Amino acid sequence: MIQAFGLTSNPRQELPPAVDDVSFEAPTGRVTALLGARASGKTTAVRLMLELQQGRGITHFRGRPLHRIPHPSQEVGVLLGEVQGHPSRTVRGQLRMLCAAAGVPVQRADEVLEVVGIVSLREQRLGTLSRGMDRRLGLACALLADPHTLVLDGPADGLSAREGKWLHGILRAHASLGGTVLFTTDDAKEAARTADRVVTLEEGRVIADQCVADFSRTRLRPRVAVRSPHATRLGVLLAKEARATQRSVEVVNEGGNRLSVYGSNCADIGETAFRHSILVHQLADEVGDAGPAVSVPARTRTEEVRAAEPTVPQPAVADTSSATDAPLPVLEPSEETAAPSALTRAHARSAQEPPQSTGTFVPLPVDADLGGASSSASAPAPPSDEQGTQASRTPSGPASAPPPASLSPLPPPITTHPAPSPLRPLRYEVRRATGIATGYLTAAVVLVASAIVAVLLARTGRTPQAHLLAAWPQELPLPPAALGAGLLGAFAFGDEFRHPALAADRGTVPRRLGLLCAKLVVAAAVAVSLAFLVVASDAVLLHLVYGEELTKVPADWLSTFASWLALVVGCAWAGVLAAGVFRSTTAGLAAVLAVPILVVPLVQKALEGPSVRTAAGLPSRLRDLALVHWPFGAERVLAAGLRMIAQPVGSALMLSLTALLCAYLLTVLRPRAR
**What pLDDT is recorded for position 403?**
46
- State whether residue 26 is helix, strand or coil: strand
Beta carbons of 576 and 490 less than 8 angstroms apart:
yes
Beta-strand ranges (E) seen in 366-492 are: 413-414
In the predicted structure, residue 52 carries a pLDDT above the cut 70:
yes
| Structure letter (DSSP) for residue 203 | T
**What pLDDT is recorded for position 665?**
86
Beta carbons of 402 and 5 less than 8 angstroms apart:
yes
Mean pLDDT score, 504-528? 86
Across 17-26, 130-139, 297-306, 501-510, least confident range: 297-306
In the predicted structure, residue 95 carries a pLDDT above the cut 90:
yes
Report for 290-304, 328-342, 434-448: range of highest mean pLDDT: 434-448
25: burial class by Cβ within 10 Å (0-12, 13-18, 19+)? buried
Q: How many Cα neighbours within 13 Å face the side chain of 495?
A: 24
* pLDDT (tens digit per residue) in 438-487: 999 999 999 999 999 999 988 887 888 888 889 988 888 889 999 999 99
In the predicted structure, residue 638 carries a pLDDT above the cut 80:
no
Angle value at C-alpha 382, between 402 and 187, nearest 5 degrees? 80
Q: How confident is the model at residue 171 (pLDDT cuts 50, 70, 90)?
A: very high
User: Regarding predicted confidence, which is higher, 500 or 603?
Assistant: 500
* pLDDT (tens digit per residue) in 562-613: 888 988 999 999 999 999 898 888 999 999 988 888 887 777 676 665 554 5
Structure-derived torsion over alpha carbons of residues 135, 136, 138, 140, reported in degrees to the nearest 10: 170
Mean pLDDT of all residues belonging to the chain:
77
Cα 344 to Cα 437: distance, rounded to the nearest angstrom: 37
In the predicted structure, residue 357 carries a pLDDT above the cut 50:
no
**What pLDDT is recorded for position 500?**
83
Cα 282 to Cα 228: distance, rounded to the nearest angstrom: 7
User: Regarding predicted confidence, which is higher, 537 or 497?
Assistant: 537
Cα 307 to Cα 315: distance, rounded to the nearest angstrom: 19
Q: What is the pTM of this model?
A: 0.71
**What pLDDT is recorded for position 289?**
64
Q: How confident is the model at residue 57 (pLDDT cuts 50, 70, 90)?
A: very high
Beta carbons of 393 and 25 less than 8 angstroms apart:
no
* pLDDT (tens digit per residue) in 361-399: 333 333 333 333 333 333 334 443 333 333 333 343 434
* pLDDT (tens digit per residue) in 209-219: 999 988 887 77
What separation in angstroms does the CA of 38 have from each of 44, 68, 320, 326? 11, 32, 9, 21
β-pairing, 55-61 vs 2-9, is antiparallel
Report for 234-248, 327-341, 551-565, 641-655: range of highest mean pLDDT: 234-248
**What pLDDT is recorded for position 642?**
53
Looking at 262-402, list the stretches that DSSP marks H as alpha helix, in order from N- to C-terminal side. 266-275, 303-308, 333-336, 341-346, 385-388
Q: How confident is the model at residue 636 (pLDDT cuts 50, 70, 90)?
A: low
333: burial class by Cβ within 10 Å (0-12, 13-18, 19+)? exposed
* pLDDT (tens digit per residue) in 246-291: 888 888 888 888 998 888 889 999 999 999 999 999 998 876 666 5
In the predicted structure, residue 28 carries a pLDDT above the cut 90:
yes
Mean pLDDT score, 178-191? 93
Cα 111 to Cα 356: distance, rounded to the nearest angstrom: 30
- Could you give the percent of the chain with pLDDT greater than 90? 42
In the predicted structure, residue 546 carries a pLDDT above the cut 90:
no
**What pLDDT is recorded for position 110?**
94
| Structure letter (DSSP) for residue 10 | P
Cα 42 to Cα 25: distance, rounded to the nearest angstrom: 15
In this structure, which amino acid lies at residue 447? L
What's the count of helices (H) and strands (E) in the chain, helices before strands? 24, 14
**What pLDDT is recorded for position 623?**
54
Question: Dihedrals φ, ψ of 22, to 5°?
Answer: -95, 125
Beta-strand ranges (E) seen in 186-255 are: 197-202, 205-211, 222-227, 250-255
